[in-house]
């Protein structure tokens, strides 16, 4: 069993790869994954560095427990986002994660700098990384690239990454898994890095690790989270969001969808051929056959292949676009998977174009519910083949700046909102506004607790829920653990796991790591010019929702500003959203203090 205390540094400019130790203090303070990636990015990246420049830093990392924990194994990609200009950490699961951990041996990951003169791939085996030519792979989609390596696991970009679409993903297992939001795939494309190939098998656990896995698999299977995940995975999000009136519908105009049951969990179960990992205690997503179109007839090739839609697919490409046919939604998701293009940002881009068309900002007739038109536009974005597709490839804010139609689709820090409409759950508004990489629902999901609490929740309750979830997620992603499994593991169990791999931690120290990592990422964003002005909600959300249980609901700007004040106070940040010196000292970050002059500007930070 490898201890994972070194990192491989690759310079694509001269195609060199060298191993170097990770400072022990960093391993103790940040564990791995998100935390360690944030520390390296803060150290290695000069403020204002272009995400597409030769000096951009890109990290592929595993955690200290990758390959051992129950549930889906994950790896993380860390860089500066070309979409938002913020810190970016994107996670992907599947076989690639465990095989990358085994191939790296005693390394925590690979730190990539420079730009190759030709398309290349990184081959990882026996703890070493080599740079190999990949000209024959350039131009292939994610599935085609994966098929070139039948005996290895692959993380690759598709056409969207090659053309630097600002929300291009890094795809694994032919597009079944993605390091998704924020555009890490575009950074790979700018570096001419087509793929990372893990040649070896997963790491071999010790007897102690096997015992811990058996114990926690059983505990997870009996936990409410485990039972929910086994029954529905994330696809039940559609039904939940529709029931409580926060389901983004027809370009964020409504909070409920009359076709929700046709794209929700029951539709997925009816269409599924099985689960991703079969009888595993954490069985993964539903495997469905991607249909050729809205008529539901399966075909050969791209449209006849299996796909694994997650909860974001029927929301962003279903209710968000007014499409109520599960086969059609799965087909659109399959297109995004092959192109290696984020489904959430793609769905929002198409929704923006439809609304812009309806408000006469475009000379193109687009309608909600038109699956064929949505498919055409998604492909135009990946190929940058039309002026509209080219503009949308840089995000909805960039398209609005060119065509008009600002604020048709709500966004934060340049990233369009994702799965829940915050007008029906104000704690979710705070979660979106303070998310470190832009409008991401995964950093905190207080919408579920708020829906159960109803009118009993106070401002203090909402703030506490967001802060606690963000800290817990930061710890989880420093372990690079399955979100659902990590939610069910108490800190004492996590401490036992770390002790078993030679990384002793007290449960109280683990809780502090989550807060430390979240604050470190905030420092990075402040250094890049982000401030309170960027922790804002778009004016669009002050307009009332239409339909559903939250008909007429809207964000109260004054109430939101009060909630943001309370959030900063609880975090130990000043009124502009900058961590105070006392907070930095308390968390062991005092040596990373940011100059007073940074963070005072207009919204937008130093966007790419």
- The CATH number linked to 567 is 1.10.599.10
For residue 438, the 8-state DSSP code is B
Residues 145 and 263 in one domain: no
Q: Domain for residue 65, yes or no?
A: yes
SS3 117: coil
Single residue among 416, 449, 476 that ends a domain in this structure: 416
Measured between alpha carbons, how far is 95 from 273 in angstroms, rounded to an integer? Answer: 20
Give the pLDDT score at 445. Answer: 85
Chain segment 243-283, per-residue pLDDT in tens: 989 999 999 999 999 999 999 889 888 888 888 777 777 77
Least trusted range by pLDDT, from 187-201, 302-316, 399-413, 561-575: 302-316
Residue 508, classified by CB atoms within 10 Å of its CB into exposed (0-12), middle (13-18) or buried (19+), is exposed
As a whole number, the mean pLDDT across the chain is 91
Q: Domain for residue 264, yes or no?
A: yes
Residues 322 and 407 in one domain: yes
Averaged pLDDT for residues 122-145? 98
Number of other CB atoms surrounding residue 463 within 10 Å:
24
- Joined together, the tokens standing for residue 339 give 């192109």
Q: Domain for residue 543, yes or no?
A: yes
Give the pLDDT score at 299. Answer: 38
Percent of the chain surpassing pLDDT 70: 95
Residues 393 and 443 in one domain: no
3-state secondary structure 499-560: HHCCCCCCHHHHHHHHHHHHHHHHHHHHHCCCCHHHCCCCHHHHCCCECCCCCCCCCCHHHH
Residues 360 and 432 in one domain: no
Residues 449 and 542 in one domain: yes
Give the pLDDT score at 340. Answer: 98
Q: What is the CATH number of the domain that holds 370?
A: 1.10.569.10
Chain segment 576-605, per-residue pLDDT in tens: 999 999 999 999 999 886 656 554 445 556
Residues 570 and 432 in one domain: yes
For residue 236, the 8-state DSSP code is G
pLDDT confidence bin for 566, thresholds 50/70/90: very high
Q: Domain for residue 355, yes or no?
A: yes
**pLDDT over 70 (residue 506):** yes
Give the pLDDT score at 593. Answer: 66
Residues 354 and 476 in one domain: no
Residues 408 and 392 in one domain: yes
- Joined together, the tokens standing for residue 233 give 């995975």
Q: Domain for residue 19, yes or no?
A: yes
Give the pLDDT score at 251. Answer: 96
Chain segment 453-501, per-residue pLDDT in tens: 777 889 999 999 999 999 999 999 999 998 888 888 888 999 999 999 9
pLDDT higher for 551 or 122? 122
Chain segment 207-223, per-residue pLDDT in tens: 999 999 999 988 888 88
Averaged pLDDT for residues 55-75? 95
CA 494 remoteness from chain centre: 23
Buried b (16+ CB within 10 A) or exposed e, 398-417: bbbeebebeebbbbbbbbbb
**Structurally, how many domains does the chain consist of?**
3
**Pairing relation of β-strands 193-198 and 153-156?**
antiparallel
**pLDDT over 50 (residue 294):** no
Averaged pLDDT for residues 174-180? 93
Single residue among 149, 170, 204 that ends a domain in this structure: 204
Residues 392 and 439 in one domain: no
**pLDDT over 60 (residue 296):** no
**pLDDT over 80 (residue 606):** no
Q: Domain for residue 496, yes or no?
A: yes
Chain segment 14-45, per-residue pLDDT in tens: 999 999 999 999 999 999 999 999 999 999 99
Query: What angle, 0 to 180 degrees and rounded to 10, lies between the N-to-C axes of helices 343-358 and 371-383?
Result: 110
Chain segment 419-460, per-residue pLDDT in tens: 889 998 899 999 999 999 999 988 988 887 887 777 788 999
**φ/ψ (deg, to 5) at 289:** -85, 120
Range of the domain at 142: 6-204
Cβ(180)–Cβ(186) below 8 Å: no
Q: Domain for residue 599, yes or no?
A: no
Chain segment 320-344, per-residue pLDDT in tens: 999 999 999 999 999 999 999 999 9
Give the pLDDT score at 544. Answer: 92
Residues 50 and 105 in one domain: yes
Single residue among 374, 393, 416 that ends a domain in this structure: 416
Measured between alpha carbons, how far is 580 from 573 in angstroms, rounded to an integer? Answer: 5
Q: What is the CATH number of the domain that holds 28?
A: 3.60.9.10
Q: Domain for residue 317, yes or no?
A: yes
Cβ(320)–Cβ(426) below 8 Å: no
Residues 377 and 439 in one domain: no
Residues 446 and 407 in one domain: no
Give the pLDDT score at 166. Answer: 98
């Amino acid at each position: 069993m490898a201890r994972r205390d070194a990192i491989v540094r690759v310079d694509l400019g001269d195609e060199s790869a060298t191993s170097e130790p990770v400072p022990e203090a960093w391993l103790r303070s940040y564990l791995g994954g998100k935390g360690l990636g944030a520390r390296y990015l803060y150290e290695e990246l000069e403020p204002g560095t272009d995400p597409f420049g030769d000096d951009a830093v890109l990290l592929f990392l595993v955690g200290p427990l990758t390959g051992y924990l129950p549930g889906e194994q994950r790896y993380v990609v860390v860089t500066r986002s070309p979409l938002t200009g913020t810190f970016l950490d994107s996670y992907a699961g599947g076989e690639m994660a465990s095989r990358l951990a085994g191939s790296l041996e005693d390394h925590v990951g690979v730190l990539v700098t420079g730009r190759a003169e030709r398309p290349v791939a990184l081959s990882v085996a026996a703890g070493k990384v080599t740079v190999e030519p990949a000209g024959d792979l350039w131009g292939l989609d994610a599935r085609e690239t994966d098929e070139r390596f039948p005996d290895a696991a692959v993380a690759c970009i598709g056409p969207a990454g090659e053309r630097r679409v600002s929300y291009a993903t890094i795809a694994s297992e032919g597009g079944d898994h993605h390091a998704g939001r924020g555009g890490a795939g575009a950074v790979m494309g700018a570096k001419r890095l087509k793929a990372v190939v893990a040649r070896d098998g997963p790491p071999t656990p010790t007897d102690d690790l096997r015992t811990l896995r058996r114990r926690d698999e059983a505990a997870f299977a009996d936990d409410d989270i485990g039972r929910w995940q086994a029954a529905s995975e994330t696809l039940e999000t559609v039904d939940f969001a529709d029931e409580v009136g926060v389901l983004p519908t027809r370009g964020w105009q409504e909070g409920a969808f009359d076709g929700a049951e046709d794209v929700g969990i029951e539709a997925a179960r009816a269409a599924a051929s099985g689960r991703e990992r079969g009888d595993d205690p954490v069985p993964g997503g539903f495997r469905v056959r991607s249909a050729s179109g809205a008529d539901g007839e399966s075909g050969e090739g791209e449209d006849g292949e299996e796909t694994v839609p997650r909860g974001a697919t029927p929301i962003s490409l279903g209710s968000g676009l007014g499409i109520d046919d599960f086969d059609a939604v799965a087909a659109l998701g399959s297109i995004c998977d092959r192109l290696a293009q984020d489904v959430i940002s793609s769905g929002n881009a198409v929704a923006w174009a439809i609304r812009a068309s309806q408000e006469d900002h475009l000379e193109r007739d687009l309608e909600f519910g038109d699956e064929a038109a949505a498919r055409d536009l998604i492909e135009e974005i990946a190929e940058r083949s039309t002026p509209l597709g080219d503009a949308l490839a840089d995000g909805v804010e960039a398209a609005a700046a060119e065509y008009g139609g600002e604020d048709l689709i709500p966004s934060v820090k340049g990233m369009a909102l994702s799965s829940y409409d915050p007008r029906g759950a104000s704690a979710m508004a705070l979660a979106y506004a303070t998310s470190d990489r832009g409008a991401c629902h995964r950093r905190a999901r207080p919408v579920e607790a708020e829906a159960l609490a109803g009118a009993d929740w106070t401002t203090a309750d909402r703030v506490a829920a967001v802060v606690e979830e963000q800290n817990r997620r930061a710890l989880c992603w420093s372990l690079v653990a399955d979100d659902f499994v990590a939610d069910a593991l108490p800190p004492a169990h996590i401490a036992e796991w770390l002790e078993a791999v030679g990384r002793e931690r007290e449960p109280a120290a683990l809780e502090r790591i989550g807060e430390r990592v979240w604050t470190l990422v905030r420092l990075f964003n402040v250094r890049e010019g982000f401030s309170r002005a960027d922790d804002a909600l778009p004016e669009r959300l002050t307009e009332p929702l239409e339909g559903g249980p939250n008909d007429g609901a809207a964000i109260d700007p004054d109430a939101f500003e009060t909630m943001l004040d309370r959030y900063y106070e609880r975090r130990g940040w000043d009124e502009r959203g900058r961590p105070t010196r006392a907070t930095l000292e308390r968390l062991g970050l005092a040596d990373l203090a940011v100059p007073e002059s940074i963070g005072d500007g207009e919204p937008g930070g130093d966007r790419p």
